Structure 1
Amino acid sequence: MSLKKKYKIWINYVIGPLLFIILSFSIYYKVKNQTGLEETKDLLNSAVSGNNLWLLLLLVLLMCVNWGIEARKWHLLVSRVQPVNYFTAYKAVLSGVSLSLFVPNGIGDYAGRLVYMQEGNRLKSITLTLVGSMAQLIITLTAGLAGLLYLSKGSWLELEQFKGLSVYWVNGIIFMIAMGALLMLFIFFKLNWLTIMFEKIPFVNKYRFMVENLETISRGDLTRILSLSAGRYCVFVVQYLIMLHIFNVQLNTADAVSSVGVLFLVLAILPTIPVADLGMRGEAGLQLFGLLSLNKLGIIATTAGIWLINLILPAVAGSLFILGIKLFRNR
């Protein structure tokens, strides 16, 4: 057996279990030490019993739907470079969630998905994965903008915190977000321009293979990806509404949906490491929902519950899938 083959076998059958062990211990200790979880333990325990049990089961089901939609998006995109069945796409997405818990800006998410691609297709799939992330960001910016407009022109007007705040400053923020969303939407539907740009820049042209598959994405496919992203966003919102109800955070539906949209907007703009951002999520949620509700403990419990269901549970499942990863495929 050649040295190269021995090296590949060692990597294939050691790296997966090693990653699983590291991720398992890291998830356990970092979740255990998160601020905000201890003070909401009683609320979380009480939510498991009684009439709320079926709502919690529904939240877990919606979590599966959420990541299932994301898997479908990735499945549609990477099929341009390599046939991937849907279950493999689902495993890749959950593996990415597991790795992304410790790496900022979604880098771990891409790494987790790449290991399910063949060696020659991994770099090609990066840009296609970015297309899916870009679609989700466009939806987040647009919905967040709508929420910001609704709250700033309605429920926030009478709040003491906003009296004396310059209307020009608020309108300036809204304008910048709107321009950013429109610019991203324009680029999204003109992705084939990237291949043209790569061709014209000499020192970048050698990496053209990474973007050439963008030319194969039709406007209809892009619209489909954007629609799936909108569907996934709706799942997020429904999850928050259910969790707010479980912890008795009293908000009317329009205010709740708008506040969730602004919260997602803030979290999308601020780069964080997901496993370390419960404190940031809790603080952001407390600041936003706290403007319209006095149930501060319920707000903290809501953000903690969503964090556990949407990130920690999928990360645990993803770490199990990582056990079977093989960086090198047999040829």
Structure 2
Amino acid sequence: MNYVLGPLLFVVLAFSIYYKVRNQASLQEAKDLLSGALSNDNIPVIILLLTLVAINWGIEARKWHVLVKRIQPVNYFTAYKAVLSGVSLSLFVPNGIGDYAGRLVYMNEGNRLKSITLTLVGSMAQLIVTLSAGLAGLLYLKNGSWANLEQFKGLSVFLVNGIIFMIAAGSLLLLVIFFKLNWLTIMFEKIPFVHKYRFMVEYLETISRKDLTRILSLSAGRYCIFIVQYIAMLHIFSVQLGTADAIATIAVLFLVLAILPTIPVADLGMRGEAGLQLFGLLSLNKLGIIATTAGIWLINLILPAVAGSLFILGIKLFRNR
């Protein structure tokens, strides 16, 4: 089981990644533009993008490393492998469920279920940053570049303000829960039918406010990397936007993608459509927008997933007799 399942899973993942990427909508157009973008002038920018990919997932590994150390000592390289393995598995499961599965196999038996809730803390921090930045971007565009667009003149002010209010309320609620994780253990103690699962959340009480702030700061750092990557990719494909408009639009795009449940390997078409709808309001370079979205999808998800599938080769699912 230990020495067959890892390689078998690698073969399945490698074939699935190849097959599904090959059949993505708009991929051919994006490939043509990507090929044209590999000019000498863009080489430094492409090197920067690839470096940022490594830093991005390195920060995520550091977040997980800080969280799980309270139940099991894990070295940083193992944390990095766990994160990339999670990316590989999450490509085929909605809402990042595979991400948790990919990470927990690196934990000792007995600690795996406990690690799920700690991983959720890192995901919650990233979602808080995404919602908050998306809200700021939405407010900026609503009162700025979008104000005079025909597409928005017919929209109800009450509807737009209602959406903004819900996002703000959701962000605030998540932030309060994030810094009051001990409420979850109290809830598990008081509800009879979930009391037996208290062991899954009891370690949340041991996360200090300092560590929570650190996790939130690392999540903000990852978000800034995403923004820089997108701006660099827009530059490569000559999508002309003001810096403030570009940052705000990227933030709203991430907000939309965070709210809509999708399977990452199957959502290039949806990402492309969302990008076209948002960036298309301010730019006429539709092919550049599609290529930008495809390029970000390729370097941030597909390349790490390929690396993660290689790490899965060495996974031993069962460590004890």
TM-score by length of 1: 0.96
The aligned counterpart of 2:71 is 81
Q: Distance in 1 between matches of 2:38 and 2:79?
A: 31
What's the offset of the Cα at 1:165?
1.4
State the partner residue of 2:47.
Answer: 57
Residues 1:190 and 2:180 are matched in the alignment: yes
- 1: distance between equivalents of 2:195 and 2:16? 41
Separation in 2, partners of 1:40, 1:225: 35
Residues 243-286 of structure 1, C-alpha deviations (whole Å, 9 max, x = no match): 00000000000000000000000000000000000000000000
Residues in 1 aligned to 2:281 and 2:197: alpha-carbon distance in whole angstroms? 49
Residue 142 of structure 2: aligned partner: 152
What is the match of residue 263 of structure 1?
Answer: 253
Counterpart in 2 of 1:215?
A: 205
Alpha carbon RMSD of aligned pairs, Å?
0.7
The answer to which of 295-304 and 166-175 deviates more is 166-175
Cα displacement (A) at 1:330: 4.3
Aligned residues: 321
Structure 1 residues 1-331: aligned runs within 5 Å = 11-330=1-320
CA shift for structure 1 position 164: 2.1
Q: Which residue of 2 aligns with 1:7?
A: none
Say which is worse superposed, 160-169 or 57-66, in terms of deviation.
Answer: 160-169
1:302 is matched by which residue type in structure 2? Answer: T
Gap regions ≥5 residues in structure 2? none
How far apart are the structure 2 equivalents of 1:27 and 1:196?
Answer: 42
Query: Quick one: which amino acid aligns to residue 17 of structure 2?
Result: I
Q: TM-score, normalised by structure 2?
A: 0.99
C-alpha distance in 2 between matches for 1:159 and 1:199: 53
AA paired with 1:313?
A: L
Answer with 52-61 or 312-321: which moved more. Answer: 52-61
Distance in 1 (alpha carbons) for counterparts of 2:88 and 2:283: 33
In structure 2, distance between residues paired with 1:246 and 1:187: 40
Spell out structure 1 runs of 4+ moving beyond 4 A: none
Kindly provide the CA deviation profile for residues 42-78 of structure 1, in whole angstroms up to 9, marking residues without a partner as x.
2100111221012111101101111000000000000
Question: 3-state DSSP class of the match of 2:84?
Answer: helix
The 2-side partners of 1:223 and 1:318 are apart by 28
Structure 2: how far apart are the matches of 1:36 and 1:62?
Answer: 25
CA distance in 1, matches of 2:289, 2:313: 36
In 2, Cα distance between the equivalents of 1:166 and 1:249? 30
Q: Whole-Å Cα distance in 2 between the matches of residues 236 and 298 of structure 1?
A: 18
Aligned partners of 1:184 and 1:246: how far apart in 2?
36
Deviation of the 1:39 alpha carbon: 1.3
Deviation for aligned residue 1:202: 1.6
* Identity across matched positions, percent: 83
- Return the alpha-carbon distance in structure 2 between the equivalents of residues 171 and 310 of structure 1: 33
**Deviation digits for residues 149-178 of structure 1, max 9, x if unmatched?**
000000001111111211111111000000
CA deviation after TM superposition for structure 1 residue 301, in Å: 0.2
- Which secondary structure state, in structure 2, belongs to the residue aligned with residue 119 of structure 1? coil
- CA–CA distance in structure 2, aligned partners of residues 33 and 206 of structure 1: 45
Deviates more, 1:96-105 or 1:160-169: 160-169
Unaligned stretches of 5+ residues in structure 1: 1-10
Q: CA deviation at 1:203?
A: 1.6
Q: One-letter code of the match for 1:291?
A: L
For residues 258 and 98 of structure 1, the distance between their equivalents in structure 2, rounded to whole angstroms, comes to: 29
Which amino acid is 2:260 matched to?
L
Q: Which moved more, 1:111-120 or 1:193-202?
A: 193-202
